[in-house]
Structure 1
Amino acid sequence: MKSLPIDDEYLREVLLELLRTPSPSGRTDAVMQIVGDRLTELGVRIRLTRRGVLRATLPGDGAPGGASRAVAVHADTIGCMVKRLKENGRLEVVPVGTHSARFAEGAHVTVFTDDLSNLHTGTVLPLMSSGHNFGDAVDTQGVGWHQIEVRLDEPVETRQDVLDLGLSVGDFVALDAAPQITPNGYVKSRHLDDKAGVAACLAAVKALLDDGRSRPVTAHLLVTIGEEVGVGATHGLDEYVAELVAVDNAVVSEGQESREDTVNIGMLDSTGPFDYHLTRRLIGLCESNDLPYRRDVYRFYRSDAAPAIESGLECRTALIGFGVDSSHGHERTHLDGIRRTAELLTAYLTSPLTFSEWDDRPTGSLEDFPSHSVQPAEPEPDRYPGRH
Structure 2
Amino acid sequence: MNNVFNQQQTLSLLEQLVNIASPSGYTANIMRFMGQFLQDHNIPYTKTNKGAIIVTFKGDNDDQHRLLTAHTDTLGAMVKEVKQSGRLKLAMIGGFNWNAVEGEYCTIHTASGKKVRGTILMHETTVHVYRGAGDLKRDENHIEVRLDEKVFSAQDTRALGIEVGDFVSFDARYETTESGFVKSRHLDDKASTTLLLQLMKYVKENSVKLPYTTHFYISNNEEIGYGGNSNIPEQVVEYIAVDMGAIGDGQASDEYTVSICAKDSSGPYHYELTQHLIGLAKAGNIDYKLDIYPYYGSDASAAIRAGYDVRHALFGPGIESSHAYERTHIDSLQATAALLYAYITSPMVEMED
Structure 1 residue 3 displacement after superposition:
6.9
Partner SS, residue 36 of structure 1? helix
Report SS of the residue matched to 2:156: helix
Q: Does structure 2 retain, via aligned residues, the 8 Å contact 1:69–1:218?
A: yes
**Which AA in structure 2 matches 1:124?**
I
1:161 aligns with 2:156: yes
**Counterpart AA for 2:104:** A
Aligned letter for 1:370? E
1:60 Cα deviation (Å)? Answer: 0.9
Larger radius of gyration: 1
Letter in 1 for 2:352: P
Q: Is 1:18 equivalent to 2:13 in the alignment?
A: no
Secondary structure of the residue aligned to 2:4 is: coil
| Whole-Å separation in 2 of the counterparts to 1:340 and 1:58 | 23
CA contact (8 A) 1:278 1:318 kept: yes
Instruction: Give unmatched runs, 5+ long, in structure 1.
Output: 356-368, 372-388
Instruction: Give runs of aligned pairs for residues 43-122 of structure 1, distance below 5 A.
Output: 43-63=42-62, 66-116=63-113, 118-122=114-118
Is contact 1:238-1:313 (8 Å) kept?
A: no
- The worse-fitting range, judged by mean Cα deviation, of 146-155 and 31-40 is 31-40
**For residue 174 of structure 2, what is the aligned residue in structure 1?**
179
Give 1:116-131 correspondences, 5 Å limit.
116=113, 118-131=114-127
Given candidates 215, 218, 242, the residue that maps to 2:237 is: 242
| Residue of structure 2 equivalent to 1:223 | 218
Moved more, 88-97 or 141-150: 141-150
SS at match of 2:95: coil
1:168 match: secondary structure: coil
Q: How far apart, in 2, do the equivalents of 1:25 and 1:94 lie?
A: 13
Give the SS at the match of 1:43. Answer: coil
Superimposed CA distance per residue, residues 193-244 of structure 1 (whole angstroms, 9 cap, x where no aligned partner) = 0011101111222232343331011110001111101112111212100001
**How many Å apart are 1:143 and its aligned residue?**
1.7
Partner SS, residue 71 of structure 1: strand
Question: What RMSD, in angstroms, separates the aligned Cα atoms of the two structures?
Answer: 1.3
Letter in 2 for 1:127: H
Identity of aligned residues (%): 37
1:333 corresponds to 2:328: yes
Q: Is the 8 A contact 1:91 1:149 kept in 2?
A: yes
d(CA) in 2 for partners of 1:254, 1:133: 37
| 2:287 alignment partner in structure 1 | 292
User: What's the counterpart of residue 306 of structure 1?
Assistant: 301
Q: Where do 5+ consecutive residues of structure 2 fail to align? A: none
Letter in 2 for 1:129: T
Aligned pairs for 1:317-332 within 5 A:
317-332=312-327
Counterpart-to-counterpart distance in 1, 2:4 and 2:59: 20
- Superposition TM-score, scaled by structure 2 size: 0.97
Per the alignment, residue 212 of structure 1 pairs with 207
Alpha-carbon distance in structure 2 between the residues aligned to 1:4 and 1:218? 22
Shift of 1:4: 5.3
Residues 73 and 246 in structure 1, CA contact (< 8 A), matched pair in contact too = yes
Give the Cα separation in 1 of the matches to 2:331 and 2:177: 13
* Correspondence 1:280 to 2:262: no
- 2:119 partner SS: strand
Does residue 246 of structure 2 align to residue 251 of structure 1?
Answer: yes
State the AA in 2 paired with 1:308: A
Q: For 1:263 and 1:218, how far apart are their aligned partners in 2? A: 24
User: In structure 1, what is the Cα distance between the partners aligned to 2:272 and 2:38?
Assistant: 30
After superposition, the Cα gap between the structure-2 partners of 1:306 and 1:3, relative to the gap in structure 1 and judged at 3 Å, is: farther
